[in-house]
Every structure is written in C-alpha cells, then in structure tokens.
Amino acid sequence: MKTFNLLLTGTLLTTCISLQANTEDSHSGGIKAVEDTTGKTLPAFDIVHARVSTLNNIATFQMSVTAKAGSSKPTPTGELAGSSAFSYVWPTSLNSALVGFEDNAGILALAVTAHPDFDDTPLYDENADNNPNNDGNIWHSHWVVLEPNEQCGKGALGVVDIPEGSYPTLPKTWPGLPILLDSPGWDPIFNGATIEVKVAFNSADSIDSASYDGVTAGLRVNQSVHAPLLCVVDVKDIASGDLSLPGKVHQLPGE
C-alpha cells in the first residue's frame, strides 16, 4: 500500500508540474494587457493577454479576457443595414497577399466575429442545420483588410471597400461581399476566458517575423454599400493600448 501511495503521489506531482508548465507556456510571451478596474469595459472584451505562436506551419492566435470569452453578442435588429457585429481581432503586419488579397492592400487582421442579422460564411454550415445561410450569430473567423477611413469616424478604421467595376485579386473563400473580407473557415475555440484560432500557412517562416496586437470591437454595417459598408465604430479594448502592434510571434519548439 505504501508503494502504491508513493507511485500515486509521484504521478499526481508529475501531472501537476506538466499542467503548470503547459499553462505557463500558453501565456508566455505575447502582450500582457492591464485589466480595466473602472467597469467601463465589458468583461467579455476586457483583454488581459494576446499572443500569436507557431508550431511547424500552424499559427495559434490567442486572446484572454477577464470573463467568459464569447459570452456577449449583438442584439438583433432584423435588418442588415445598421446592424452590428462583435469581434475579437488580431491586427498584424502581414502582407495581405499572404492570404490571397492584393499586395499590401491595408492592415491584414484575423477576426472572430458574431452578428445575428447576416451571414457572411456561405461555404459553411456552422450550426449544422443543413442551411449555410443562417448562422452569422455563431462565432466564426475572417481575414479582413482594414484602413483608416474618416467616413467611419475621426481616426476610425473600416474594412476596405471594393469599388464598383473593379476586380481585385481575392482569396478563393471570399464570401462575395464588396469588401476585402475572407471566410476561410478556421473554427474559433472558446475555453473559459480564452479564445484561440489555429490557422494553417504554407510554412511558419511566412509569419514568424510578423508583429501583431489584440483588439476587441464592435462593427457597424452602414446603410449604403460604399459608405463604406463595414466600419469599426466601437473599440472596446486594445491589448497594447495604442495599436502599436508590439507583439512578436512566439515560436514553439517542434515536436
């Protein structure tokens, strides 16, 4: 019995050490943000940590907040125009051409969004009801290309419009909207206060030198298609505080 207890104790100790190491590794590097103690930021969007790491050709985009991530979604309006989207966003220094857009078209960002009034992932049936056009309110991923746009507000960003009659280079999974937005189908994973998205690239070398930031925000669909169509109108939190993209990609040791 004593031998069994010693073995059990050793196993539990090893497991605890392993779990602690994994937890510490998952939060090492990246951008550590200051928790909002004023109550102004909704806890589900109050960023405390943002990180991008790579293992072989897979990049993991991760963000942690002070409450359950993904627990808050926009209130439905019943109409596309004027509706809202909530998002967790990783703006990057990556060239937009890396994911299929024109070369240097703007700020390439990975976004996880939810919006009850429209569906912009026509290739996927996220709620598995055999209808791919009714699941915009389920959290899903996008690549978006952003640029400053005064029509969205002073100092605000908007998703880059595609001018009528122009035919830019677009990713194969572009959803057909007249903006630089892609619906690649990378499923977000929510685990308590943390959200992460795993993204496959041709090689880790393509993103290992990139920098990034973490942002939570609300977006608005405007009344007119080219007003522009989609504006960032409600920045809830920025990991760096100033959108300076200070994060450096954390390379995990290969298996």
Q: What is the 3-state secondary structure (H, E, C) of 141-185?
A: EEEEEEEECHHHCCCCEEECECCCCCCCCCCCCCCCCCECEECCC
Which residues fall within 8 angstroms of residue 253, CB to CB, at 6 or more apart?
none
The number of beta carbons lying within 10 Å of the beta carbon of residue 238 is: 20
User: Has residue 174 been placed in a domain?
Assistant: yes
Q: Read off the pLDDT of each residue in 51-78 and give the average, rounded to a whole number.
A: 96
User: Helix, strand, or coil here: 101?
Assistant: coil
0.75 exceeded by pTM: yes
Look-up: residue for tokens 């907040």? 65
Structure confidence at residue 143 as a pLDDT band (50, 70, 90): very high
How many whole angstroms separate alpha carbon 90 and alpha carbon 195? 12
Q: What type of residue is 87?
A: S
Tokens of residue 190, six digits: 């929510």
Rg of the chain on CA atoms, in Å: 20
Query: How many domains does the chain fold into?
Result: 1
User: Has residue 11 been placed in a domain?
Assistant: no
Q: Read off the pLDDT of each residue in 92-106 and give the average, rounded to a whole number.
A: 97
- pLDDT recorded at residue 80: 86
- Residue 4's region, left for phi above 0, alpha for psi from -120 to 50, else beta, is alpha
- pLDDT recorded at residue 255: 53
- pLDDT recorded at residue 60: 97
Q: Kindly give the pairing relationship between strand 194-200 and strand 211-212.
A: unpaired
Tokens of residue 25, six digits: 């590794």
Which residues fall within 8 angstroms of residue 2, CB to CB, at 6 or more apart?
none
pLDDT at 24 over 70: no
Domain extent for 44: 31-251
User: Has residue 184 been placed in a domain?
Assistant: yes
User: Has residue 23 been placed in a domain?
Assistant: no
- pLDDT recorded at residue 195: 98
- pLDDT recorded at residue 206: 83
pLDDT at 86 over 80: yes
Structure confidence at residue 224 as a pLDDT band (50, 70, 90): confident
Among 116-120, 130-134, 203-207, whose mean pLDDT is lowest? 203-207
How many whole angstroms separate alpha carbon 66 and alpha carbon 195? 12
Tokens of residue 71, six digits: 């627990």
User: Has residue 148 been placed in a domain?
Assistant: yes
Among 55-59, 116-120, 204-208, whose mean pLDDT is lowest? 204-208
Q: What is the DSSP string of 43-84?
A: GGG-EEEEEEEEETTEEEEEEEESS-TT---PPP-SSSTT-E
Q: Beta partners for 88? A: 112, 216
pLDDT at 2 over 60: no
pLDDT at 18 over 90: no
User: Has residue 100 been placed in a domain?
Assistant: yes
User: Has residue 114 been placed in a domain?
Assistant: yes
User: Has residue 1 been placed in a domain?
Assistant: no
Structure confidence at residue 66 as a pLDDT band (50, 70, 90): very high
